Structure 1
Amino acid sequence: MIEMRVRDLGEVTGAALLAGDPERVCRGCVIDSRLVDTDSIFVAFPGERVDGNDFAEKALRAGAGCVVMTRTPEPDVSALAAELGAAVLVCEDPTEFMLRLAHVWRKGLDCTVIGVTGSIGKTTTKDSLAQLLSCRYRVHVTQGNFNNLIGMPLTILSAPRDTEVLVLEMGMDGFGQIEQLSRCAEPDYAVITKIGTSHIGFLGSRENIARAKAEILAGMRPGSLLVLNGEDDFTPFISETFAEPAGIEVIRCGVSDTDDVRAGAAVLDEYGCPHVSITFEDGSTIDTKLSILGSQSVVNALFAAALAHRLGVEPRKIDEQLGKLEITGRRAQVRDAACGARVLDDSYNAAPESVAAALNLLCALPASGRRMAVLGEMGELGDAGAQLHALCGSYAAAKDLDLLVCVGADNAREMADAARLMGMPEERVMLAADTDAVIGRVAGDLRSGDLVLVKGSRFVGLDRFVEEVC
């Protein structure tokens, strides 16, 4: 983790020392005063409800070596810092402070940096990459969803000094954010998983989403490598408009004979795990089985396998690791309900493309009872929300489900109406206002042998339904 004198913290970030010991050595960085440990750097973020500056004294008493505030400290805070041999820095923008500090720490690490972004699949790709590379390297990786302008710097600042590969997930909800992340991290390798419709409400079109995702190239040097989805319709645009002019090498992963790293047709076993052949750039091939579910997981594993192979991991090791993959929770995980039903828990988040993939998986898995889908509303779709929810409802209708539960308000109604319009019988379509309604109306009706998909954006909170029945 970051280890630096207070004096140097100020110099590299532009923060001003207002009180305390400039020679104090600090270790680690947190933004939550409850996580302060001895010598921590505590960065205070002012918020609408909670102002981190108000917790400066608490952080100092907990052992912080330095507190970074956005306002002039009260006299008692300055006095306490001096008394404890700690320090107080003041900066105008705590996000910029974090980005600058993380950039300096990244530059001091003798490691390879891999950035991962995309509309869907980036967390699965990130987790797969970390596991494949960990059989050869000391890997530090984004935990959970620490992928924004605060979370990614925290990931970098927590990296041990002996890190050999740093795998960073990069998210955004507008232009300029991934550029900031990329300039901070300076990736040697990058992956753009797919250009979908997530965040279309903020950016207006898929082309704009592609432009925003292509910002990952901003911090990359000529000769670096970008991995793209060979079957994504925006891959030529990203390659020709952004990568090639910047001198960035591109490899494509997919199922076409023209892709540089390619997979054969996936065959799902009775548990939904894909069996697939993978051919690498040098012509070497493995026949492997993934431990994660669904055909949609193949391309994400392919991105990871392509980079692992480039970084010297032997094909047999890649094969071995693909059979042991573990990904961040609530992404296409089959769980047993107390009543004997099975729950396909994909409740972490949702986008139209991932809903379609989840419905495909629901229909590919064996079920002796009913097949049901509980689909929550999807966020950040803007003016396209009604149309995209209707498309998901239409797609669900085509799957001949025994029950479709649409959870939410207006957009959930769009889903339900479209499913009925496309011929799904009225008695098989249910509209529920919220997760509590789903629990009340569906949880007690599940039976042994049933298979139920649960998927929606996080704000819907469908994970509570899963916990209720499992």
Structure 2
Amino acid sequence: MNVDLATLADFLGGQLTGENCFLAANVVTDSREVIPGSLYVAREGEKADGHDYLTAAKENGAVAALVSKPGNWPLPTILVADTTRALGQVAKFHLAQCRSLNPELQVCGVTGSAGKTTTKDLLAQSLAAVAPTVSNLRSFNNEVGMPLTALKTEAKTAFTVLEMGADGPGNLAYLTSLVPLDVAVVLMVGRAHLGGFGTYEMVAKTKAELVSGLRPTGIAVLNADDPQVVKMAAMAPDRVIWFSPSGQEMISAPSVRGTQVDFINPDNNPDLSYEPTSVDLWATDISLDAIGHPTFTLHWADQSAQVKLQIVGQHHVANALAAAGAAFAMGLTLAQVVYGLEQAGAISPHRMHIFSVNGVQVLDDAYNANPDSMRAGISALAHLGPLEANGRLVAVLGQMLELGPTSDELHAELATVLEESGVAQTVIVGERAKPLHEALTGKIPSKYCDDLATAREALAQTLRAGDTVLVKGSQYSNVYQLAEELAKGELIK
């Protein structure tokens, strides 16, 4: 970012205290990440108050700070009402500045109830093979992580890829107000975060905010296999690129553009007419190798090519097609897209990582979970099979959070999926997952654990050489810690 503090204060509507200075380095919310010339954002969090670290930020080289509390601070400050919101506005200012210096810069937003991080990673790696690219680390996709990512964009950046998450209505509208999009990718509407949204229809309405956040000439990349995503085409200002993991070549899609869709009351869409529409991008001939790497034929208009992914799980074909659609929208050729997809790996942690330790094969997909991704993980476990002929399939499943009043039902539904997939033993972790443990009675031996300490003990007693174990759960179920301990060989006797 290249701006003086007084100009930024004026843009933010904040009060400048101290000498004006020039900001030429990064913007951070952690005083430990400060480098000389940084702007430090003092956020008030649940566990810590960033204002307590202003002295440390200055000692590390910060030249100024955003604060929400008046005080005799050790460096120049801009006083604002809400530093998190101000951070977003700084990102908006910075991205506009980058676009003025580089009109060719393209910004892509990715959302969906599952697959966001993998799609973002696939797309970013494909684009980076062609030109300078910025993307989120891991899943830094909220009102803090996304602006911090956008602020890493430079004038020389060709592509900025932003995973955008939402746990309630209005989240994506806010994020896209900061960074208007050239390309918007919507993967699917699932049942994640129902506790924040209330209803499945509200999830769809919120995901559609990404499409509404497109610039006037922006391109929407939409999943032709998801009926709720299909409706979002009506909200696209211009072109739509359709992708179909199931291999559909034609769908019935909205014929209008730039029209709001009522997802809550479908009957209130009198102008939403549908017509036969060609799918632009689809997959056929899908197969999996011995450890679950998908190979498929990618069809793009009148061209086709075979693609073999380095990531595990058939469900990633959909993510690869979405990434390909965005890459095509941003100007890549078929050869560039295929090369990028085949070179891309699972760079975010706890995302379908496979490793073996002490005679046990581990499928670590423990970063997060919802009903759809749980099914995908169990399917991948079934495909992997036991490591040895006398081994078993074991599932360590943490609770799925933010599912609202349907939580018990959605957990219990997984019992049938586990049984049909040939899972021989489960370790269920967390109170909200207890309905799954109860539903497994009479189907699969199951150990219920209130906490990680109990789960460690149960897992150590359960696993034996030749087994393959899936570890999966919502991030704050903390079962990812079990995967990390397995990787160190600490839980296997």
- Residues of 2 paired with 1:325 and 1:120: CA distance? 19
Among 261, 264, 267, the alignment partner of 2:287 is: 267
Is residue 182–residue 217 contact of structure 1 (8 Å, CA) maintained in 2? no
Q: 5 Å matches for 1:310-459?
A: 310-327=329-346, 328-337=348-357, 339-367=358-386, 368=388, 369-409=391-431, 411-420=432-441, 423-425=442-444, 428-459=445-476
Q: 5 Å matches for 1:38-57?
A: 38-57=36-55
**1:257: which partner in 2?**
249
**1:287: which partner in 2?**
306
Judged with a 3 Å threshold, the aligned counterparts in structure 2 of structure 1 residues 296 and 48 are, in CA distance, closer, same or farther, namely closer
1:90 pairs with 2:79: yes
- 2:20 partner SS: coil
How far did 1:69 drift? 1.0
How far did 1:70 drift? 0.7
Is residue 177–residue 213 contact of structure 2 (8 Å, CA) maintained in 1? yes
**1:59: which partner in 2?**
57
More divergent stretch after superposition (91-100 vs 215-224): 215-224
Is residue 350–residue 364 contact of structure 2 (8 Å, CA) maintained in 1? yes
How far did 1:332 drift? 0.9
For 2:350, give the aligned amino acid.
R
Judged with a 3 Å threshold, the aligned counterparts in structure 2 of structure 1 residues 16 and 400 are, in CA distance, closer, same or farther, namely same
- Residues of 1 paired with 2:242 and 2:22: CA distance? 49
Among 26, 35, 38, the alignment partner of 1:37 is: 35
For 1:291, give the aligned amino acid.
Q
Among 22, 25, 28, the alignment partner of 2:26 is: 28
For 1:152, give the aligned amino acid.
M
**1:12: which partner in 2?**
11
For 1:166, give the aligned amino acid.
T
How far did 1:40 drift? 0.7
Among 221, 229, 233, the alignment partner of 2:227 is: 233
How far did 1:215 drift? 1.0
Is residue 375–residue 454 contact of structure 1 (8 Å, CA) maintained in 2? yes
The alignment-based identity, stated in percent, is: 33
Is residue 222–residue 230 contact of structure 2 (8 Å, CA) maintained in 1? no
More divergent stretch after superposition (397-406 vs 349-358): 397-406
Is residue 4–residue 27 contact of structure 1 (8 Å, CA) maintained in 2? no
For 1:123, give the aligned amino acid.
T
- Residues of 2 paired with 1:305 and 1:126: CA distance? 11
How far did 1:231 drift? 0.9
For 1:160, give the aligned amino acid.
E
Judged with a 3 Å threshold, the aligned counterparts in structure 2 of structure 1 residues 222 and 172 are, in CA distance, closer, same or farther, namely same
- 1:222 partner SS: strand
Is residue 53–residue 69 contact of structure 1 (8 Å, CA) maintained in 2? yes
For 1:219, give the aligned amino acid.
G
How far did 1:180 drift? 0.9
- 2:331 partner SS: coil
1:35-75 Cα distance to aligned partner (Å, 9 max, x none): 2111110111123442212222222232211111111122x
1:279-305 Cα distance to aligned partner (Å, 9 max, x none): 013x11011111111110000000111
1:249-285 Cα distance to aligned partner (Å, 9 max, x none): 222211212222000141000011011000013x110
For 2:91, give the aligned amino acid.
A
How far did 1:444 drift? 4.5
For 1:335, give the aligned amino acid.
F
Judged with a 3 Å threshold, the aligned counterparts in structure 2 of structure 1 residues 47 and 313 are, in CA distance, closer, same or farther, namely closer
For 2:429, give the aligned amino acid.
V
1:110-158 Cα distance to aligned partner (Å, 9 max, x none): 2100000111000000000001111212101111121111111111112
Structure 1: runs of 5+ lacking an equivalent: 82-86
Is residue 186–residue 229 contact of structure 2 (8 Å, CA) maintained in 1? no
For 1:60, give the aligned amino acid.
K
For 1:207, give the aligned amino acid.
E
Is residue 331–residue 348 contact of structure 1 (8 Å, CA) maintained in 2? yes
For 1:135, give the aligned amino acid.
A
Using the size of structure 1 for normalisation, the TM-score is 0.92
1:66-102 Cα distance to aligned partner (Å, 9 max, x none): 111111122xx2xx43xxxxx2211111122111111
Is residue 2–residue 22 contact of structure 2 (8 Å, CA) maintained in 1? no
**1:84: which partner in 2?**
none
For 2:421, give the aligned amino acid.
K
- Residues of 2 paired with 1:274 and 1:49: CA distance? 42
Is residue 116–residue 170 contact of structure 1 (8 Å, CA) maintained in 2? yes
CA RMSD of aligned residues (A): 1.5
- 2:227 partner SS: coil
How far did 1:14 drift? 1.4
For 2:427, give the aligned amino acid.
V
Is residue 134–residue 157 contact of structure 2 (8 Å, CA) maintained in 1? yes
- Residues of 2 paired with 1:347 and 1:308: CA distance? 28
**2:2: which partner in 1?**
3
For 1:12, give the aligned amino acid.
F
- Residues of 2 paired with 1:55 and 1:413: CA distance? 41
How far did 1:235 drift? 2.0
How far did 1:318 drift? 2.2
Is residue 6–residue 26 contact of structure 1 (8 Å, CA) maintained in 2? no
- 2:121 partner SS: helix
Judged with a 3 Å threshold, the aligned counterparts in structure 2 of structure 1 residues 312 and 26 are, in CA distance, closer, same or farther, namely closer
- 1:437 partner SS: helix
- 2:184 partner SS: strand
- Residues of 1 paired with 2:140 and 2:484: CA distance? 24
- 1:380 partner SS: coil
**1:277: which partner in 2?**
297
1:383-439 Cα distance to aligned partner (Å, 9 max, x none): 010010011122212223111221111x3221022223xx514xx222122222221
- Residues of 1 paired with 2:137 and 2:52: CA distance? 27
How far did 1:191 drift? 0.4
**2:158: which partner in 1?**
164
For 2:438, give the aligned amino acid.
D
**2:265: which partner in 1?**
none
- 1:430 partner SS: strand
- 1:234 partner SS: helix
For 2:83, give the aligned amino acid.
P
For 1:435, give the aligned amino acid.
L
1:308 pairs with 2:298: no
- 1:405 partner SS: strand
Is residue 191–residue 403 contact of structure 2 (8 Å, CA) maintained in 1? yes
For 1:90, give the aligned amino acid.
L
- 1:452 partner SS: strand
